[in-house]
């Protein structure tokens, strides 16, 4: 097995004699066959191959395979966005009348997807604190619970998920743990090594890293035994009449059932495919993510240390900073570094935070994070604005919170920028 740096550069695609060194962009909606029988085998999932880019495309599959290798999984697919990845990861195994347990500290968009849109589809979510005890976690389960969901490092609360604790709770109730690994990246944490079953990504963030392409990814560890809990997962363990009676868990096993069903059913019906062009751009990002994430972490730690030492800053949250609430968990799950995002509060609350941000020169105000270029956001007035104060606190977002995504510029320049903006409050 190659090490992560080698997989980042060379994983997923191995050209044969005379083939392009870089992955080809297969800019084609459709694929040609000699006979109808050949194509029928694809439709029946008897053979793997391509027929229409709404479901699958070779460029996407090269890139999905690389991320799969980075995470140590058995199967993976790209999606059009991180939102589509989160939605598919749940909807693939839960439907109307089902229930999911989720950490409360999750990305605002995911919270909205779960608490509002998927609730309207008849799927009920119970939100639990990432710091919940085993007993509190157990109490959140119901007979119709189908999955547990959390983020390795929560955006923007920066809570570190105790993956082993959440996996244990999920498995003792016969359901998989799905982990959104966007902020940590597989360079810094591979949730499968700690018991997670499915990993999702917004590849829009560090994996692309250049603010160039929106995208998502789902990876399966191949470890969850669907057939052992067949009563809970009829979609995987009983025949799919829309696919000629195929039973995914039987035909594709633990290693392939989840991703095959998500591709054959959900991608077919929802069409949330990533464009091959974007997959190509994503792959360029993947080739350097192992270098970039190191610099992000170095710069973020320097920034967090500076903020901590400045009297105008009310509080700092960075799980890589000694003394942080999540420092010990970060040491366990993220020993090589956590991420480039630092949260802090400016003394003077919401008003002071807005004034501070207005005076930044290098660091830009954006709804984006995890980009080579430093940027920052005030979630209470942007991404999380539809949430009540109560919901904000439950999601780990106080009204004065500034989320600073530290880029890979020179750390001294970034700190000087923050310093001069603080001077002007
Ligand atoms: C941004 C983000 C998402 C959503 O991803 P999009 O690519 O914007 O759809 C999901 N989870 C986390 C942790 C994110 O940061």
Residue-level pLDDT at 376: 95
Please state, in angstroms and as integers, the Cα–Cα distance from residue 118 to each residue in 103, 107, 156, following that order: 16, 15, 22
Q: Which of 67, 105, 109 to mutate to test the pocket of ligand 1 (most atoms within 8 A of CB)?
A: 109
Contact 299, 417 (CB under 8 A): no
Stated length of the chain: 425
Residue 390's pLDDT band, with cuts at 50, 70 and 90, is confident
| DSSP string over 226-283 | GGGGTTT-HHHHS-BGGGTTB-HHHHSHHHHHHHHHIIIIIIHHH--PPPHHHHHHHH
Residue 383's pLDDT band, with cuts at 50, 70 and 90, is confident
If one compares 386 and 289, the residue with the highest pLDDT of the two is 289
| DSSP string over 298-362 | HHHHHHHHHHHH-TTEEEEE-TTSTT-TTHHHHHHH-TT---SEEEEEETTHHHHHHHHHHT-SS
Ligand 1 pocket by Cβ (under 6 Å) = 81-83, 86, 107, 109-110, 151, 155, 180, 182-183, 202, 204-205, 214, 216
The Å distance, Cα 337 to ligand 1 centre, comes to: 20
Residue 68 has pLDDT above 90, yes or no: yes
The Cα 73–Cα 132 span in angstroms is 28
Residue 396 has pLDDT above 80, yes or no: no
pLDDT digits (tens, 9 = 90+) for 76-105: 999 999 999 999 999 999 999 999 999 999
> In terms of DSSP bridges, do strands 364-365 and 375-377 run parallel, antiparallel, or are they unpaired?
parallel
Question: In the chain, where does the domain assigned CATH 3.40.640.10 lie?
Answer: 4-284
Residue 380's pLDDT band, with cuts at 50, 70 and 90, is confident
Question: In the chain, where does the domain assigned CATH 3.90.1150.10 lie?
Answer: 291-423
Nearest to 400 by CA among 104, 151, 156: 156
Nearest 5°: the CA angle 212, 300, 80 is: 25
Residue 349's pLDDT band, with cuts at 50, 70 and 90, is confident
Fold of 291-423: 3.90.1150
Residue-level pLDDT at 394: 76
Residue 47 has pLDDT above 90, yes or no: no
82: its two tokens: 């991180």
Residue 381's pLDDT band, with cuts at 50, 70 and 90, is confident
The Å distance, Cα 83 to ligand 1 centre, comes to: 6
Residue 384's pLDDT band, with cuts at 50, 70 and 90, is confident
Q: What is the phi-psi region of residue 64: left when phi exceeds 0, alpha when psi lies from -120 to 50, beta otherwise?
A: alpha
Please state, for a pLDDT cut of 70, what percent of the chain lies above it. Answer: 100
Mean pLDDT within 349-356: 86
Of ligand 1's listed atoms, the one at least distance from the Cα of 106 is 13
Longest dimension (CA), the chain: 74
Mean pLDDT within 34-60: 91
Residue-level pLDDT at 157: 85
Please state, for a pLDDT cut of 90, what percent of the chain lies above it. Answer: 86
Q: 162-171, 235-244, 389-398: lowest mean pLDDT where?
A: 389-398
Nearest to 267 by CA among 414, 55, 99, 120: 55
pLDDT digits (tens, 9 = 90+) for 111-134: 999 999 999 999 999 999 999 999
Residue 386 has pLDDT above 90, yes or no: no
305 backbone dihedrals φ, ψ, rounded to 5° = -65, -40
Taking all residues of the chain, what is their mean pLDDT, rounded to a whole number?
95
Instruction: Give the global pTM.
Output: 0.96
In CATH, 4-284 is 3.40.640.10: yes
Residue 28 has pLDDT above 80, yes or no: yes
């Amino acid at each position: 097995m190659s090490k992560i740096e080698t997989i980042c550069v060379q994983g997923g695609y191995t050209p044969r004699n005379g083939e392009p060194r870089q992955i080809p962009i297969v800019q084609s909606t459709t694929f040609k066959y000699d006979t109808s029988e050949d194509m029928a085998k694809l439709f029946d999932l008897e053979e793997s191959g391509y027929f229409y880019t709404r479901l699958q495309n070779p460029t996407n599959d090269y890139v999905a395979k690389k991320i799969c290798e980075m995470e140590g999984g058995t199967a993976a697919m790209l999606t059009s966005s991180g939102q589509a990845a989160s939605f598919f990861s749940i909807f693939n195994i839960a439907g109307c009348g089902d229930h999911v347990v989720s950490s409360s500290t999750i990305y605002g968009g995911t919270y909205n997807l779960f608490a509002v849109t998927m609730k309207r589809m008849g799927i009920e979510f119970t939100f639990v604190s990432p710091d919940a005890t085993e007993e509190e976690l157990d109490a959140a389960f119901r007979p119709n619970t189908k999955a547990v969901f959390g983020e390795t490092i929560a955006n923007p609360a920066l809570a570190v998920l105790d993956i082993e604790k959440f996996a244990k709770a999920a498995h003792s109730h016969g359901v998989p743990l799905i982990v959104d690994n966007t902020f940590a990246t597989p360079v810094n944490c591979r949730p499968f090594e700690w018991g997670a079953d499915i990993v999702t990504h917004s590849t829009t963030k560090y994996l692309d890293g250049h603010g160039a392409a929106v995208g998502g990814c789902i990876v399966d560890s191949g470890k969850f035994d669907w057939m052992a809990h067949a009563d809970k997962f009829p979609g995987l363990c009983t025949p799919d009449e829309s696919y000629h009676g195929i039973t995914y868990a039987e035909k594709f096993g633990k290693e392939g059932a989840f991703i095959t069903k998500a591709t054959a059913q959900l991608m077919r019906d929802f069409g949330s495919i990533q464009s091959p062009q974007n997959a190509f751009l994503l792959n360029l990002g993947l080739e350097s993510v192992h270098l970039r994430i190191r610099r992000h972490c170095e710069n973020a730690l320097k920034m967090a240390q500076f903020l901590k030492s400045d009297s105008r800053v009310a509080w700092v949250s960075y799980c890589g900073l000694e003394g942080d609430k999540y420092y010990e968990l970060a040491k366990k799950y993220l020993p090589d570094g956590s991420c480039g995002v630092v949260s802090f509060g400016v003394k003077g609350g919401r008003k002071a935070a807005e004034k501070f941000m207005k005076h930044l020169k290098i660091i830009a105000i954006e709804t984006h994070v995890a980009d080579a270029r430093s940027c920052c956001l005030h979630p209470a007035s942007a991404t999380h604005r539809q949430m009540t104060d109560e919901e904000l606190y439950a999601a780990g977002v106080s009204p004065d919170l500034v989320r600073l995504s530290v880029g890979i510029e020179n750390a001294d320049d970034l700190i000087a920028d923050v310093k001069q903006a603080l001077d002007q409050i």
